[in-house]
Each structure stands twice: as structure tokens, then as C-alpha cells.
Homo-oligomer: A and B are copies of this chain.
Amino acid sequence: MNRFLSNATNRIDAKGRVSVPSAFRSVLSGGGVRELYCFQDFVFPAISVGGPELLDRFERQMAAEDPFSPAANEMSLLVHGGGVFVKLDPEGRLMVTDFIRDFTGISTDVMFVGRGDYFQLWEPQAFAKAQAAAREGRKSRGLRPE
């Protein structure tokens, strides 16, 4: 399996560390990724995490449009100003910094949510709410999975 899928909740220990689920770690090492790029998601109260190529993709998108446009300017503010690089410890854990806590509301547990080519860090209850809202949205519009 080569993409980030499903979700899992892990506890933050006394030192502020949390284990990245094994399944996610194998996707990362499978892609030869050793350093992670994290940024505050554009729509959800979650931190999005992926390999450095995630940042590359954003920069390409910005380059595609007028670099002085309000949209590109705004995006740079989020992507560059709201992004950090982090690396995992030998056991595959990452530090849950205030940068992450403040933006997501995470305090004791972290929910890892696969998003295909990247994954996200959520406060568990916030995710439940967002997912329920997404499901309601689809239902009310009468959309089916097929």
C-alpha cells in the first residue's frame, strides 16, 4: 500500500511525544522520506503532514499564477509562514509542539487521519464532528459513492 489511509488515535506521553502509526511510517520510508513538512490546513483545524514534495507542489502552483496576485500572496503566507519541517525520533515519534496544539486544540491524544498522499493530525472530537458534517453534506445533496 502506497498511500495514507484510515485513521488511528495515539496518546501523547509525558514528554510531549506521540507515535506515528506504523502503517503511515511504512508509506513514508517506502517513499524514502526522512523529513516531514507540516502546515496548518487551509480549511480544517488540523495539521497536514507529508514529504517535502508537498511543499514543492504548493510552490509550483503559486508559480503558475501571478506571484503578486492576492491569491498567491495569501497562499505563500500560509504555506511558508505556517509551515515547519519536523523529523521523527528513532522509534517513529514526533514532538507535539505548541504550534500543533494551538492550531488543532490537541491536548492529550492525537488522531492521525490518512488523506491519500499526505496525512493529518486532528483533535479526535474535532475530527468526528467534521466527518459527520461531511457525511451530512453528501447525504443532503443526494450523492452516492458510485
Interface residues of A in 32-67 (CB under 8 A from B): 35, 40-44, 48, 55, 57-59
**CA–CA, A99 and B115, complex, Å:** 17
Using known A-B contacts A76-B116, A116-B76, A138-B75, determine if residue A131 contacts B81 with beta carbons closer than 8 Å. yes
Copies of the chain in the assembly: 2
The docked-state distance in angstroms from the alpha carbon of A77 to that of B122 is 12
Secondary structure call for the A interface: mixed
Q: Which residues of chain B are within 8 angstroms of A58 by Cβ–Cβ distance?
A: 145
Task: Choose from B70, B115, B127 the contact partner of A80 (Cβ within 8 Å).
Answer: B115
Closest chain-B Cβ to A78's Cβ sits at a distance in Å of 6
12 sampled A-B residue pairs with Cβ under 8 A: A5-B83, A6-B85, A7-B82, A42-B143, A42-B145, A43-B70, A76-B115, A77-B115, A78-B134, A81-B114, A81-B127, A82-B131
Apart from A6-B80, A42-B68, A78-B135, 6 more pairs, CB < 8 Å: A5-B55, A5-B84, A40-B135, A58-B145, A77-B130, A77-B131
